[in-house]
Structure formats: C-alpha cells, structure tokens
C-alpha cells in the first residue's frame, strides 16, 4: 500500500516489515506467470505445487532485498534505493520472472 515518507519511516521505526511495492506485488504477478507457464506446457499443477513454487519465488525476492539492504549499509531498510536496485537487477537476470519485471518497471 502506498504511504507517505513519514508513514514509511514510522512503520520502519516500529519494526513493521515494509517492502517495496515491486516486491509485495510480485506474488500476484508470479502466480499469473506460473499459470501461463502451466497452460503453455499443458500441465496441471495442484494447489500445493503452485503454492510451493510461489513461496520459493517470494522467499528468493525477500532474500535478495535483505542482502541488498545489508550490502548498501541499510540493514532492515527494504525500501532503500539499494534494495530496489538489487531487486530490479535480480528480476532482469531471471528469465522465469520476466513477467514480474515488466510489471515492476511501471513503478520506476
């Protein structure tokens, strides 16, 4: 959800996990990409299989923005420009997540 800078800082100062919209919105986009992949290969995955794949994608995104926040000296600040930069770099390097990148670029 969009917030003002003051609201974002308040959330961060009070220990609320707050990530860039690109990361938080990736779940829906990734699910659509998984569905397109499943359809194009004429596969039928169970709910559990889709959920497992989606969880892997989301955990990977979190690990990337967490590592970036540490790399740029802003540990725990997941909305920093460093974390966003790392997220976009990672998405661009992953052919499996190209749909996420296309949607994420709308926010740039």
pLDDT value of residue 102: 44
**pLDDT tens, the chain, 108 aa long:** 577 888 888 888 898 888 877 777 888 888 888 988 888 889 888 999 999 999 998 888 888 888 888 888 888 887 766 666 666 666 666 655 544 444 444 444
DSSP codes joined into one string, 75-106: TT-TTSHHHHHHHHHHHHT-GGGHHHHHHHHT
Distance CA 39, CA 28 (A): 17
pLDDT value of residue 93: 63
Task: Looking at 1-108, list the stretches that DSSP marks H as alpha helix, in order from N- to C-terminal side.
Answer: 5-13, 21-24, 26-40, 47-71, 81-92, 98-105
pLDDT value of residue 108: 42
Distance CA 16, CA 32 (A): 28
Domain boundaries, the chain: 20-105
Q: CA neighbours within 13 Å on the CB side: how many for 24?
A: 10
């Amino acid at each position: 959800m969009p917030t003002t800078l003051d609201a974002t800082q308040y959330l961060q100062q009070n220990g609320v996990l707050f990530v860039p919209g690109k990361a938080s919105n990736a779940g829906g986009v990734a699910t659509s990409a998984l569905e397109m992949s499943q359809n194009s290969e004429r596969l039928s995955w169970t709910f559990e299989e889709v959920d497992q794949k989606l969880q892997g994608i989301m955990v990977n995104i979190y690990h990337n923005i967490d590592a970036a926040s540490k790399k740029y000296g802003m540990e725990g600040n997941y909305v920093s420009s460093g974390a966003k930069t790392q997220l976009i770099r990672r998405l661009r390097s992953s052919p499996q997540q190209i749909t996420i990148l296309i949607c994420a670029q709308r926010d740039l």
